Amino acid sequence: MKVAYDPEVDALYIRLSDDPAEVTTRRLSETVALNYAPDGRIVGIEILDASEYVSGLKTDRKIALENLIPV
C-alpha cells in the first residue's frame, strides 16, 4: 500500500495494490473516487480537497499506517 499527498492540489491517493492493472474509475462523490481492476479489486482511492477530511495534512503532512498485515 502506498499513500501520496499532493499539497498543491490538496489531493490524497491511497494505492492498495502494486500490481499493474487497467482501472475503471467510479466517483462516489464530487471529492472521492475509487479505481478498480477488471476483476473487481479496488486498486486505489482518490480524495480531493483531502485536508477537509484528513486532519493534519496541510500542517505536518504525517500519515501513520497501523496494524497492516502483510499479504
In a domain, 19, yes or no: yes
User: Does residue 58 sit within a domain?
Assistant: no
Q: Is residue 10 part of a domain?
A: yes
Task: Let me know if residue 68 belongs to a domain.
Answer: no
Q: Where in the sequence is the domain holding 40, given as residue range(s)? A: 2-52
Q: Is 20 inside a domain boundary? A: yes
The answer to whether residue 9 scores a pLDDT higher than 70 is: yes
Strand partners, 33: 27, 46
**Number of structural domains in the chain:** 1
Q: Report yes or no on 13 lying in a domain.
A: yes
What percent of the chain has a predicted confidence (pLDDT) above 90? 45
Query: What's the predicted TM-score (pTM) here?
Result: 0.76
**70 within some domain:** no
pLDDT at 46: 95
Q: Average of pLDDT values for 16-36?
A: 92
34-60: per-residue pLDDT in tens? 999 999 999 999 999 998 887 767 665
CB neighbours of residue 24 within 10 Å: 12
Q: Does the residue 59 lie in any domain? A: no
Averaged confidence pLDDT in the chain: 83
CA distances from residue 70 to 17, 34, 56, 66 in whole angstroms, order as listed: 12, 22, 27, 12
